[in-house]
Structure 1
């Protein structure tokens, strides 16, 4: 698996080693993955941990999701991980968010189990993932309407373009700059990316040449229509055929761990 260092971040090896349960992988998500980080952006780490057999076989509900937040060199960082079984269940839903975490090229920690999950990823893609990106875009567009911030505006464009690209190319691509090279989008989006680099919560109103709300509304509606069309014409299947193999991966990984 190809990994790419995250420029400017402290060494996270110690953080990985300190986790109560072994991590199968940890990657960078959020603005760094999406291609529009700001100088003061939080660092969002996401991944998968493996619970011991005793905790998944007993009567007490297992702690399937764990969260840790801390400050490193002035950057706010958070690590959110799911147990392998929960992550696998999320992968079997039309959930693009967990696919982006799994396939992030910004890899902090990896294992053979991570590589096995990545190998299954192409078979987990379905036409129903368009629904995830359509809903995510609507939520972010409403948030932009309330706050006027660049961040939800860029999220709106990013998720629509990711959904269109996924339906057309059968590939999860979360980086907005890369998407702008492959999917037609308004020219001003690149300027918005540049503007957000200055501040995580910058406002559109601070830009000298900000596009009008009417123009942006028309552009968002056009991309929504393009996503609808891409969903209707995609050759992605309605259902994944990887469920049994994913289940076997969970079972065998748990059994190999041996710990109780």
Structure 2
């Protein structure tokens, strides 16, 4: 991990030089951040960057995404600060996950603190539940139908389903780590808890989970929760909080170099 971490930090510095940007924040966003990587899992690095003030005043807008080709297990891309803030005000779940990633590669002191502080107030239960519900439903229909399934895909359905449950019960942003969701929401269901943790232990041990018989207990749980949250999501009121003025001030302070 240390060698890859050093390589990631070097690559972030190279991007800053080549693109003439400042990276405010960079973190791990995929299965490694969720707590269930495989031996051959990519490093999914995501970052937020800011350009020179003059670039934002130009008549000609620059591209608001920086991407690098995936190579040697490294998948790295980032969003311009303005894009990130526009998505943040819509309670974008991937961005909210980035802000709580347990693996941080770079962070400018003070630059991201305000977003973390305000995320609880800008969090939209409805927007986030629809995001996770769509993710769970799509992965379940594509990968987990039939007597034999791609067993590792259970994690990519269970995690968003449990995120929906967390949103309903806690009414806050779900934790990014899968095990935290399982311990909080599944521990009282002995059989389901055992099945999920059995798969999780195998995956954490480095076992490559491939085609295996489906897990009836887990499938029943997923189908029940999908039906329930499909009905519930539409009844959740849309968020009415407005933090546009605050975000605008934060954006201006950041491009002026006043937030670290």
Within 5 Å, which residues of 2 pair with 1:72-221? 76-111=73-108, 112-128=110-126, 129-145=128-144, 148-169=149-170, 170-184=172-186, 186-187=192-193, 188-197=195-204, 198=206, 202-205=209-212, 211-212=215-216, 215-221=217-223
Deviation at 1:89, TM superposition (A): 0.9
Unpaired segments of 5 or more residues in structure 2? Answer: none
CA contact (8 A) 1:123 1:241 kept: no
User: Any idea what the Cα deviations from partners look like across 1:156-178, whole Å, max 9, x if unmatched?
Assistant: 10011122213322133121111
Count the aligned residue pairs: 242
Partner Cα separation in structure 2 for residue 251 and residue 143 of structure 1: 44
CA contact (8 A) 2:5 2:105 kept: no
Partner Cα separation in structure 1 for residue 40 and residue 240 of structure 2: 40
User: Which position in structure 2 is the counterpart of 1:17?
Assistant: 13
Deviation at 1:47, TM superposition (A): 1.4
Partner Cα separation in structure 1 for residue 253 and residue 39 of structure 2: 42
Q: Secondary structure at the match of 2:102?
A: coil
Q: What TM-score, normalized by structure 1, do the two folds share?
A: 0.81
Partner Cα separation in structure 1 for residue 136 and residue 184 of structure 2: 19
Q: What TM-score, normalized by structure 2, do the two folds share?
A: 0.81
Task: Give the alignment's Cα RMSD to 1 decimal.
Answer: 2.8
Partner Cα separation in structure 1 for residue 136 and residue 50 of structure 2: 32
Partner Cα separation in structure 1 for residue 231 and residue 161 of structure 2: 12
Unpaired segments of 5 or more residues in structure 1? Answer: 1-5
Q: Which moved more, 1:89-98 or 1:238-247?
A: 238-247
